[in-house]
Amino acid sequence: MTAKISRINPERLHQTPGYHHITVVEAGRTAYLAGQCPLDQDGGLVGPDSLDAQLDQIVTNALTALAAVGAQPTHVVRSVIYVRSDDQSALGAAWARLTASALGPAFTSASTLLGVAQLGFSGQLAEVDLTVALPD
């Protein structure tokens, strides 16, 4: 049996730029992906000065992680996006790039976008955390 996923935007809450305020999973197994970082297969940081290059690597890594558990971006039920910036336009640009990517459907569920002061790797500008309702 495949988990039933419902995405809800209550009328009395503000309009969103593509995500849903609430995601409900009726049944099934879940996977919690570690924060997806802009690291290549050898553990090297991709694009130390390029948010776009880092986001593209994060998308590649997240798609690989999803495939490893037999999931697609549509199976994501919660995302948290971290961007090392306090500039609202940088956060908006990160959101736009991620939602336009092959991982984009993941961000239609409950999602949070945060500007942060520091991330785990020197030069790291972004990270994405995903929770997935696994298909059977």
pLDDT, tens digit (0-9, with 9 covering 90-100), for 55-82: 999 999 999 999 999 999 999 999 999 9
Q: Is the dihedral of CA 24, 30, 35, 39 positive or negative?
A: negative
Average confidence (pLDDT) over 119-133: 96
pLDDT of residue 5: 87
Cα–Cα distance, 96 to 40 (Å, whole number): 22
Distances (CA, A) of 108 to 76, 81, 112: 9, 13, 11
pLDDT of residue 27: 76
Cα–Cα distance, 64 to 10 (Å, whole number): 33
Higher-scoring residue by pLDDT: 102, 31? 102
Mean pLDDT score across all residues of the chain:
94
pLDDT band at 1 (very low <50, low <70, confident <90, very high): low
What are the φ/ψ torsions at residue 19 (nearest 5 degrees)?
-90, 170
